[in-house]
């Protein structure tokens, strides 16, 4: 029976080739889009799910409040948290810490050296918490004592080639301190779908040893409740509820953090929250994230678009199938006269729907497999070959069968319900109820299309706004070189840097050279509580610190609202600072001039000599931070080299030659600042491109349905058009007659789409500290584009009908 149904369905598809091709092509595009978006969403939601105990792991987030206002949220927190939580809460099975281990690593035997920026000092417990797959070495002792390091496979090969590195030594240098590290193991490359990038792990006791060697005997890496640069991870026992544990943290904070006099006097309160391990990538956007995380809202938008696109295609099928009811009415009447019951006819029409959808699915799977690499490049993921995890396959199969069934069910019930006598006597006409449904579906299709069009325009506007906005600093024609890490003493460094700088400035095309702790585009991690000396009410605020030399301001063309730059002419400038306008307001000054010569408590007393006009340290997604600028000539994190040459690569070769002369033990790592700064907008640019692509495809699919319906409408009105032409109707009036009904439907869709579009995009824009205002003309433009597209689609068919010979159409009728 079923074989017969599918055989008849196949013959029907071949008989109506144009109708079949239109439906299959539209459905295959929609299913391809759906599969590719599922592929992307599945990868984004797979982050950190590969750990065996991922559902039991959380990371601690630190929220700090000052004067009743949230000062910051940080992904890092205090090093004493993990051991204290392990000791005090029985539901905690394991606890561990990570802190950046950015080292200049050298293999002296092979003269191999690199600045390694993707590694951490790690507690031994972190191997189990992070599920690190150790290929060589003893897991129990790999990180249990100072001066031990684990390498990823690629890093081991980089430093040791094909040799077994276990037991061999590397030299690690960090801010002049040298660590002689023993390689205790090699781990498998850490998966790319993790919120961490792990190239090396240094034993946590190594950091404590380094700090003690620098004269700090406080055991800060174990006991500090003020140094918040540590990632604290907690693994709960099976069955434990992290929300129940989180409810205990306010009392924990009162016991350990908020109970000191300084915090009480300055009205500073800290709170701790637990972020599920698998939520970090998409839903955590705090300060000091280990890597740039994804955007859960953007992923959700794309996931919704997948459903909307495939829904548009199924609406097309339903519309076209019901519109063709007149054409198939006689077929149904004859089948009923010959003995067919309604159930047989329903099954027959559903078989047609499933066959047509299955053919489209086959084409879509092939297209998705071929397009997946290009799509991954567009959205900026490393998901690999096209694949879907089991739960997404189940979701898609459910969606596919439900959609295929539902889109075929209504036409099946309509077609199978015709009365044979009425049909065979030629008294049958399309029902007004069926026409109302088709109109409603067209309105829904174009409402979605308008939402996507306006969304694409607004995403593009926001990205362009961020890129074109004045930063308050000149980052053009700037090469940033990572500073040398091989000097053990600042006094030795000073004797080398000045000759290096002088030699560079003598080079043709070099305009300026300046050293700083950070450069534009970087998040500043160096913060501290600051209060005004002599204020009647002491209240600390958090400022972000930037260390610079004398030439930083003129090199970046930073402007002073009032006051002066640092100068060697003032002996007191060792205790001088500059603040930006945001910090000036935060400190309570009514105007910048009032801040001059005011004194700040920053461990020691510093006086303000100038107020900087606000500048964007990071992209416009982030608010300008209250910044305090120190003069610190020995700082050597980054060198910013301004050049005027039109041949930057030649200038770069000269810089490298000078670098190798003065810093032979340090690798030459550089980047162009404007390119690096623009990377902050890459995710938004990709989202805009992806959004625009799917918006275009959704509109194309909607137009397929409109094209088919308008063509069928013209076919049904062939005699009417012929008579009107004979009676003197012009071609223009016929085009208007045949088009206006569809255009009215598009206009109605605009009234539905505009408020929905405004709400969705307004919500999306809240993620940006600096954002565009949504203008009315965006919706007008979206509506005009939708109307123009609909007019071209419908007008094409109407114009063909209007210019046709009326005698031929009337003779045919």
Calculate ∠ Cα 654-657-661, nearest 5°. Answer: 140
| CA 575 to mean position of chain CA atoms | 41
Lowest model confidence (mean pLDDT) among 71-75, 291-295, 482-486, 572-576 = 482-486
Q: Which of 138-152, 472-486, 501-515, 633-647 has the lowest mean pLDDT?
A: 633-647
pLDDT at 528: 84
Integer Cα distance of 286 and 272 in angstroms: 13
Give the residue with greater pLDDT, 356 vs 634: 356
C-alpha span between 608 and 606 (Å, rounded): 7
DSSP tag of 732: H
pLDDT of the residue at 432 = 54
pLDDT of 766-789, one tens digit each? Answer: 888 899 999 989 988 888 888 888
CA 408/CA 355 separation, integer angstroms: 11
Mean pLDDT of the region 583-598: 91
Looking at residue 126, what is its pLDDT? 96
Percentage helix, strand, coil for the chain under 3-state DSSP, each rounded to 5: 55, 20, 30
Q: 247-285: per-residue pLDDT in tens?
A: 999 999 999 999 888 788 778 899 999 999 999 999 998
Query: Which backbone phi and psi does 233 adopt, to 5 degrees?
Result: -115, 140
Count CA atoms within 13 Å of residue 309 on its CB side.
31
CB of 705 closer than 8 Å to CB of 772: no
608 in the Ramachandran plot: left (φ > 0), alpha (ψ -120 to 50) or beta? beta
Distance CA 361, CA 396 (A): 11
Q: Quick check: 217 pLDDT over 80? A: no
- pLDDT at position 342: 64
Q: What pLDDT score was predicted for residue 783?
A: 84
Kindly indicate the confidence band of residue 427, based on its pLDDT and cuts at 50, 70 and 90: very low
Q: Mean pLDDT across the stretch 637-653?
A: 87
pLDDT at residue number 335: 62
DSSP code per residue over 666-681: S---EEEHHHHHHGGG
Distance separating alpha carbons of residues 253 and 200, to the nearest angstrom: 32
pLDDT digits (tens, 9 = 90+) for 499-541: 999 999 999 889 999 999 999 999 998 888 888 887 655 577 8
pLDDT at 734 over 70: no
Of residues 21 and 500, more confidently modeled: 500
Mean pLDDT over residues 205-223, rounded?
85
β-strands 177-187, 148-152 pairing: parallel
Can you tell me the mean pLDDT for 719-737?
A: 70
Judge residue 56's burial from the number of C-beta atoms within 10 Å of its C-beta, 0-12 exposed, 13-18 middle, 19 or more buried.
Answer: buried
Query: 146: Cβ–Cβ under 8 A, 6 or more apart, which residues?
Result: 203, 205, 206, 208, 209
* Percentage with pLDDT > 90 across the chain: 43
pLDDT one-digit tens code per residue, 360-369: 999 999 999 9
pLDDT of residue 94: 95
Task: Write the CA distances from 776 to 443, 639, 782, integer angstroms.
Answer: 21, 46, 10
Among the listed residues 724, 717, 722, the one whose alpha carbon sits nearest the alpha carbon of residue 738: 717
Rounded mean pLDDT of 82-98?
Answer: 96
Greatest pairwise CA separation for the chain in angstroms? 109
How does pLDDT run across 37-58, given as a tens digit for each residue?
999 999 999 999 988 889 999 9
Residue 638 φ/ψ region, left for φ over 0, alpha for ψ in the -120 to 50 degree band, beta for the rest: beta
In this prediction, residue 530 carries a pLDDT of 87
- Among residues 40, 45, 43, which one has the least CA distance to residue 306? 40
User: Does pLDDT of 164 surpass 90?
Assistant: yes
| Average pLDDT along the chain | 85
Confidence label for 604 from pLDDT (cuts 50, 70 and 90): confident
> What span, in angstroms and rounded, lies between the C-alpha atoms of 194 and 49?
8
Which residue is associated with the tokens 């350990």?
A: 256
Q: Beta strand 604-612 with 134-137: parallel, antiparallel or unpaired?
A: unpaired
Q: Give the pLDDT mean for 534-551.
A: 81
Residue 76: burial class (beta carbons within 10 Å; 0-12, 13-18, 19+): buried
Q: Which one is predicted more confidently, 415 or 119?
A: 119
| DSSP-derived pairing of the beta strands 604-612 and 560-563 | antiparallel
In this predicted structure, the answer to whether residue 439 has a pLDDT above a threshold of 80 is no
């Amino acid at each position: 029976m079923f074989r017969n149904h599918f055989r008849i369905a196949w013959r029907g598809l071949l008989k109506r080739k144009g109708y079949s091709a239109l439906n299959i092509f539209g459905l295959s595009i929609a299913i391809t889009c759906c599969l590719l978006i599922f592929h992307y969403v599945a990868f984004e939601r797979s982050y950190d799910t590969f750990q065996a105990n991922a559902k039991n792991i959380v990371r601690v987030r630190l929220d700090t409040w000052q004067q009743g206002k949230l000062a910051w949220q940080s992904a890092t927190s205090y090093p004493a948290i993990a051991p204290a939580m392990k000791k005090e809460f029985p539901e905690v099975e394991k606890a561990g810490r990570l802190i950046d281990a950015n080292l200049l690593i050298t293999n002296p035997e092979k003269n191999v050296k690199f600045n390694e920026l993707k590694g951490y000092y790690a507690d031994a417990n972190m191997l189990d918490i992070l599920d690190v797959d150790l290929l060589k070495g003893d897991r129990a002792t790999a990180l249990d004592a100072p001066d031990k390091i684990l390498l990823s496979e690629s890093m081991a090969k980089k430093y040791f080639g094909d040799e077994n590195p276990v037991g061999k030594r590397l030299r690690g240098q960090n801010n002049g301190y040298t660590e002689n590290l023993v390689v205790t193991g090699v781990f498998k490359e850490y998966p790319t779908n993790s919120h961490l990038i792990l190239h090396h792990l240094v034993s946590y006791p190594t950091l404590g040893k380094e700090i003690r060697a620098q004269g700090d005997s406080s055991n800060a890496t174990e006991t500090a409740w003020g140094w918040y640069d540590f990632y604290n991870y907690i693994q709960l026992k099976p069955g434990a509820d992290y929300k129940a544990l989180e409810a205990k943290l306010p009392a924990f904070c009162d016991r350990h953090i908020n109970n000191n006099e300084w915090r009480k006097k300055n009205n500073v309160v800290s709170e701790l929250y637990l972020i599920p391990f698998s939520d970090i990538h998409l839903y955590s956007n705090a300060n000091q994230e280990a890597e740039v995380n994804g955007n859960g809202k953007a992923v959700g938008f794309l996931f919704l678009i997948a459903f909307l696109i495939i829904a548009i295609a199924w609406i097309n099928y339903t519309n076209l199938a019901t519109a063709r009811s007149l054409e198939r009415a006689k077929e149904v009447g004859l089948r009923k006269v010959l003995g067919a019951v309604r159930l047989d006819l329903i099954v027959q029409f559903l078989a047609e729907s499933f066959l047509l959808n299955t053919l489209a699915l086959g084409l879509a799977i092939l297209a998705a497999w071929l397009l997946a690499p290009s799509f991954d490049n567009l959205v900026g993921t490393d998901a690999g070959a096209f694949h879907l995890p089991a739960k997404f396959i189940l979701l898609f199969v459910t969606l596919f069968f439900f959609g295929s069934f539902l889109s075929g069910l209504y036409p099946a019930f309509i077609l199978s319900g015709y009365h044979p006598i009425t049909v065979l006597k030629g008294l049958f006409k399309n029902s007004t109820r069926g026409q109302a449904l088709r109109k409603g579906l067209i309105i829904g299709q174009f409402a979605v299309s308008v939402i996507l069009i306006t969304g694409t325009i607004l995403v593009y506007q926001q990205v362009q706004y961020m890129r074109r906005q004045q930063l308050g600093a000149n980052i053009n024609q700037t090469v940033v070189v990572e500073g040398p890490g091989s000097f053990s003493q600042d006094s030795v460094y000073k004797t080398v840097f000045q000759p290096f700088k002088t030699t560079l400035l003598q080079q043709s095309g070099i305009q300026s050279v300046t050293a700083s702790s950070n450069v534009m585009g970087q998040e500043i991690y160096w913060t501290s509580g600051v209060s005004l000396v002599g204020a009647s009410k002491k209240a600390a605020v958090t400022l972000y610190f930037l260390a610079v030399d004398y030439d930083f301001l003129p090199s970046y063309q930073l402007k002073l609202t009032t006051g002066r730059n640092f100068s060697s002419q003032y002996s007191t400038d060792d205790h001088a600072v500059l603040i930006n306008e945001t910090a000036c307001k935060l400190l309570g000054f009514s105007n910048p001039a009032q801040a001059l010569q005011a004194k700040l408590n920053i461990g020691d007393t510093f006086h303000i000599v100038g107020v900087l006009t606000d500048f964007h340290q990071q992209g416009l997604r982030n608010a300008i931070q209250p910044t305090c600028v120190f003069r610190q000539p020995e700082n050597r994190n980054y060198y910013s080299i301004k050049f005027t040459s039109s041949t930057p690569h030649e200038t770069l070769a000269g810089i490298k030659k000078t670098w190798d002369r003065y810093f032979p033990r340090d690798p030459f790592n550089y980047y162009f600042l404007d390119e690096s700064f623009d990377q902050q907008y890459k995710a938004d640019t990709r989202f805009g491109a992806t959004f625009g692509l799917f918006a275009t495809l959704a509109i194309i699919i909607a137009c397929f349905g409109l094209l088919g319906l308008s063509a069928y409408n013209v076919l049904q009105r062939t005699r009417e058009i012929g008579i009107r032409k004979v009676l003197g109707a012009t071609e223009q009036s016929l085009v208007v007659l045949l088009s206006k009904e569809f255009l009215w439907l598009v206009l109605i869709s605009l009234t539905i789409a505009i408020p929905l579009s405004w709400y969705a995009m307004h919500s999306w824009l809240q993620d940006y500290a600096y954002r565009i205002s949504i203008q009315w003309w965006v919706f007008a433009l979206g509506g005009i584009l939708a109307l123009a597209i609909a007019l071209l689609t419908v007008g094409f068919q109407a114009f063909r009908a209007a210019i046709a010979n009326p005698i031929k159409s009337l003779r045919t009728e």
